[in-house]
A and B are shown apart, each in its own frame.
Chain A
Amino acid sequence: MKQLSKKQKIIYAVIIAIILIGIIIYCTIGFNLGLMFSNNKRIDIYIGKDFSISDIKQIADETLDGKKIIQTAELLDDYASVTVKDASEEQIENFKTKIIEKYNISENSQLVNTIDVPSVKIIDVMKYYIFPVLLATIISAVYLAVRFRKQNIFRVFLKTIFMPIIIDALYFSIIAIFRIPFNEFVMPIALFIYIITLIVCAYKFKKDEK
């Protein structure tokens, strides 16, 4: 078996340490969910005429705390939807008053609708990726193991299986440790890292063959 150099040992030790810390953090406090994935409050306000997202954002910044996501809603784009982590009744009332003043809307009970949106479970986001990624990895590992059988069929097979797992585990651990918000871009990036890792594996085996 090839001896690892001191540098390689340090790198592997650091990777394992990061992954372990990441697992501990995930098991204890979980990921830092981004606004759209965490518990949030969605404030839907009916404006009924053309409006600018930047104007709504400005009013929301004045009246509501924290990060906000502003979207238009309904097919005629006559609703504005503001998503915040939390907002008090007073803040929502303040927000509503400023919108009424800005757009000259008449007050009515249907004007504002507030919905408490529960968080998404991370496993619900990830579970649809697990089977296809595993299946593609196993088939790719079988192909590479047969193709590069001269380099030890089991070594090639296991390396192809474990490399994407380790690299993606490292990625998720970094997200957990540095409390990077887990949002809608996290899984696409994980998928990208997974595919790149398999490409690198194929490239390395080819290079070692020469």
Chain B
Amino acid sequence: MERNLKIVLVTLIVILLTLISFVGIYKKDSILYKNIIADYLLSSNLEGKRVIELTIDTSTNEVKYDKDGNVVEDSENETTSTDTTEENTDEETDTTENTEDEYTIVNEPVNPEEKLTVENYKITKKIIETRLESMNVDNFIVRLNEENGKIIVEIPENGRTDEIVSNLNSVGDFEIVDQEDNTVLLNENDIKEVLVGYNTTESGTGVYLNIQFNKEGTSKLEEITNKYISSTDEEGNTVEKNVTLKMEGEELFSTYFSETIVNGQLPLTFGSATTDVSTIQQYLQNASSVAILLNSGKMPLKYNIESQEFVKPIINEKILNISIYVLIGLVILSFIYLIIKYKKYGALTVIGSVAVIDLLLLAIRYTNVYLSIESAIAFIILIILNTILLKNILKNINKKSEREDIYKAIKNGLLESMDIIIVLLIISIVFTFIKWAAINTVGILMFWGIICILISHLIFTRTLLLNSNK
């Protein structure tokens, strides 16, 4: 009687779990009932992606040269978009002379012809890929047309996509120049690494960028910090020799150095110290973007974002439904196999297997697992593992089995399956630590699936089997 009661109790618990997992728990939220169970998360190959088209910038810059051939810095360098098929088809540059001021204005292409090589296209593609990896984009495709340098980038569409897109086509150039004559003193080639840091003081938290220069850059920095200082001349006036920091051709600020830097580390402050959390987060985000650009290297070519579009997945609802039905079909087939081969005991293990499904579906929703095409692999592997485990347990149980025999059969069945379980656990743990979404999904799903299989069968199936015989 007590045994039957336990079987009924376990069955009822499994039914309850099934209802929670498949139907949900509804709670009144103002006038509507809302399901408080978390929803499934879908990855970009099931939800859609942003497709960005990058094309080589064909515009020109007006550059002024004096009679000695030196560049004359204007307040603005005019950038004109010229259609290269219209004017100047034979010449790349357009020259006008102004004899009154004795300077020459030359229209120089932003990307000179000699730089438009396959090698530079490939370097640009590599830099974009590095930036996407640094920004923890877990699933992307970068395509390159080697004939015209066009690059198509496909990334998941989510809350970070706009921020990611804004970092894609930045050239990533960095210069420290003499404020007076614009001589380049240091550039991005002298940088070893850029890190983002913050420190908290009484006035608030300040975010800074720590630029670590390489060996050559360190000695250059030491020279610069010795030379560009504030001093007093013979008449007692303060003379400042300043440098200007530039990024993407734009001046960030000018400064002198109050002390010599010998360790090759240049901290740059972002904004001012503040206690406002959202401002700090914004500064951190901006600083991280700059760090990513500088760490990934300077692009040899300048690209424009020609277009960007959100595209729905190829895996439409119809294909998704078919996949779900196929998985359900496989589950049902495994259940039918167990019931036909092992009769009553097979049926009891099916109840335990239903609990596995319930627990796994809940675990998926509460552990931020993004479901994708690859998730189907994990589900099929788990169905196979579950069937193998139950087969190993049930093959030693029959009508004549006593409680002690069933207990041994469960233990031996588990031990017999342990090698497969451990191999799958190794795979799942390794895959879980990989950022790439396709691999990561399989790892996390398999990991939780194995845990759910073990928990469910050790609690529910074991109780059912042990209480099944008179």
Chain A interfacial positions (CB closer than 8 Å to B): 36, 44, 53, 69, 71-75, 77, 79, 81, 113, 115-121, 124-125, 128-129, 131-132, 135-136, 139-140, 143-144, 147, 184-185, 187-188, 191-192, 195-196, 198-199, 201-203, 205-206
CB-based contact A188/B373 at 8 Å: yes
Check if A119 sits within 8 Å of B143, measured CB to CB.
yes
B438 contact set on A, CB distance < 8 A: 128-129, 187-188, 191
- Given contacts A144-B423, A188-B438, A199-B420, A73 and B309 within 8 Å (CB-CB): yes
Contact A128 B436 (CB under 8 A): yes
Q: Which residues of B contact A203 (CB under 8 A)?
A: 388, 419-420
Interchain residue pairs with CB less than 8 A apart (7): A44-B309, A73-B311, A77-B312, A118-B150, A136-B430, A139-B426, A184-B314
Contact B424 A118 (CB under 8 A): no
Q: Quick check: B380 and A192 within 8 Å, CB to CB?
A: yes
B377 at the interface (CB under 8 A from A): yes
Contact residues in B for A196 (Cβ distance below 8 Å): 381, 384
Interchain nearest-CB distance for A34 vs B (Å): 10
A188 CA to B385 CA, complexed, in Å: 18
A144 near B314 with CB under 8 A, answer no
Contact with A along B116-154 (1 / 0, CB 8 A): 000000000000010000000000011111100010100
Task: Kindly list the 3 A-B residue pairs having the minimum CB-CB distance in the complex, ordered from nearest.
Answer: A118-B145, A128-B436, A136-B430
Which residues in A have their C-beta under 8 angstroms from that of B374?
Answer: 188, 191
A140 close to B423 (CB less than 8 A): yes
In contact, B427 and A198 (Cβ under 8 angstroms): yes
Question: Cα distance A192–B375 when bound, in Å?
Answer: 10
Contacting residues, chain A, for B314 (C-beta < 8 A): 36, 69, 71, 184
Q: Are B310 and A147 in contact, CB atoms less than 8 angstroms apart? A: no
Closest residue on chain A to residue B372 by CB atoms: A188
- The interface residues of chain A lying within 8 Å CB-to-CB of B311 are 71-73, 81
- Distance in angstroms from A48 CB to nearest chain B CB is 15
In contact, B381 and A192 (Cβ under 8 angstroms): yes
> Assuming A118-B144, A119-B143, is B152 touching A73 (CB within 8 A)?
no
B313, chain A: closest CB distance, angstroms: 7
Closest to B152 in A: A117
> Which B residue's beta carbon lies closest to that of A75?
B310
| B222 is an interface residue with CB less than 8 A from chain A | no
Residue of A nearest to B435 (CB): A128
Q: How distant is B6 from chain A, measured CB to nearest CB, in Å?
A: 33
| Minimum CB–CB distance for A162 against chain B, Å | 16
User: How many residues does chain B have at the interface if contact means C-beta atoms less than 8 Å apart?
Assistant: 43
Majority secondary structure, A binding face: helix
Docked-complex contact A128 and B419, CB < 8 angstroms: no
Contacts of B381 in A (CB 8 A): 192, 195-196, 199
User: Of B143, B145, B419, B436, which contacts A144 at CB under 8 A?
Assistant: B419
Contacts of A69 in B (CB 8 A): 314
Q: Please indicate the chain A residues that have their CB under 8 angstroms from the CB of B143 in the complex.
A: 117-120
**Chain B residues, Cβ within 8 Å of A115:** 53, 152, 307
Question: Contact: A132 with B439, CB < 8 Å?
Answer: yes
Which chain A residues lie closer than 8 Å to B142 at the CB level? 124
B306-332 interface code vs A (CB 8 A; 1 in, 0 out): 010111111010000000000000000
In the complex, which residue of chain A has the Cβ closest to the Cβ of B385? A199
**Residues of A contacting B349 with CB < 8 Å?**
none
* With A69-B314, A129-B439, A132-B430 already in contact, 17 other A-B pairs whose C-beta atoms are closer than 8 Å: A36-B314, A73-B309, A115-B53, A116-B150, A119-B143, A120-B143, A125-B141, A128-B436, A132-B434, A136-B427, A140-B426, A143-B426, A184-B45, A192-B380, A196-B381, A198-B427, A203-B419
Do A72 and B312 touch (CB < 8 A)? Answer: yes
- Residue from A44, A73, A118, A121 with most neighbouring chain B CB atoms (10 Å): A118
- How far, in angstroms, from A66 to B148 measured CA to CA in the complex? 25
Query: B419 and A205: CB pair below 8 A?
Result: yes
Q: B15 an interface residue at 8 Å Cβ cutoff?
A: no
Q: For the complex, what is the distance from the CA of A71 to the CA of B374, rounded to whole Å? A: 21
Q: When A73-B310, A113-B307, A115-B53 are in contact, do A188 and B436 touch as well, CB less than 8 Å?
A: no
Does B376 contact A188, Cβ atoms closer than 8 Å?
Answer: yes
Residues on the A chain within 8 Å of B129, using CB: 124
B431 on interface, CB distance cutoff 8 Å: yes
Interface residue ranges of B381-438 to A (CB < 8 Å):
381, 384-385, 388, 416, 419-420, 422-424, 426-427, 430-431, 434, 436, 438
**Closest residue of chain B to A128, judged by CB?**
B436
Residue B177, interface by CB 8 Å: no
A136: chain B residues within 8 A (beta carbon): 426-427, 430-431
Q: Which residues of chain A come closer than 8 Å to B56, judged between CB atoms?
A: none
Set of chain A residues within 8 Å of B144, measured between Cβ atoms: 118, 121
- Tell me which residues across on chain B come within 8 A of A125, comparing CB atoms: 141
CB atoms of B309 and A81 under 8 A apart = yes
Contacts of A75 in B (CB 8 A): 310
